[in-house]
């Protein structure tokens, strides 16, 4: 199955593998919040390290929309795992940018222990730049892409 999830205490992890459809992702998201073990608000990790890199920005935007559809059930900090120094990492950064537009602090990490520390450490709120491989958009306030 290309999209899976696991729940532990107040934590959910979505694993995206190979190629998957937006419908599959949406179904798994909906199934996750209906699981009796789901206890909102949960912290989230999205593991994209084994996801297909044969995608485009429109698909990434749709993936983000599917994940954001359950944002009311999740905490406002999400970590994304990706392979460092690869196209996968760049795609994960795009996903983070689409997910973390305003109300969700989203960071991309190359290693799981660092992602866990950031996700569960209360002291990291507002200090993501030093702990996160890709700082959330909130770190770039005032930045404008065009003059």
Residue 32 DSSP one-character state: H
Nearest one of 112, 99, 80 to 16, comparing CA atoms: 80
- 45/118 Cα distance (integer angstroms): 11
- 32/19 Cα distance (integer angstroms): 20
Q: Which residue has the higher pLDDT, 103 or 145?
A: 103
Give pTM, 2 decimals. 0.81
- Model confidence at 64, in pLDDT bands (50, 70, 90)? very high
Is a pLDDT exceeding 60 seen at residue 76? yes
- Model confidence at 145, in pLDDT bands (50, 70, 90)? very low
Fold entry, domain 3-140: Transcription Regulator spoIIAA (3.30.750)
Is a pLDDT exceeding 90 seen at residue 17? yes
Task: Write phi, then psi, for 108 (nearest 5 degrees).
Answer: -105, 135
Lay out the sheet containing 11-18: strands in order across: 3-8, 11-18, 42-51, 74-81, 105-109
């Amino acid at each position: 199955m290309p999209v899976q999830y696991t729940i532990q205490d107040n934590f959910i992890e979505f694993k995206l593998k190979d190629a998957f459809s937006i419908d599959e992702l949406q179904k798994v998201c909906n199934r996750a919040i209906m699981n009796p073990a789901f206890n909102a608000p949960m912290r989230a990790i999205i593991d994209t390290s084994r996801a297909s890199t044969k995608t485009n920005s429109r698909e990434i935007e749709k993936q983000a929309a599917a994940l954001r559809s359950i944002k009311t059930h999740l905490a406002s900090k999400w970590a994304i795992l990706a392979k460092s120094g690869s196209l996968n990492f760049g795609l994960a950064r795009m996903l983070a940018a689409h997910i973390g537009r305003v109300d969700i602090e989203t960071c991309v990490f190359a290693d799981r222990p660092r992602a866990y520390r950031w996700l569960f450490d209360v002291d990291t709120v507002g200090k993501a730049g030093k702990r996160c491989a890709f700082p959330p958009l909130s770190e770039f306030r005032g930045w404008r892409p065009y003059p």
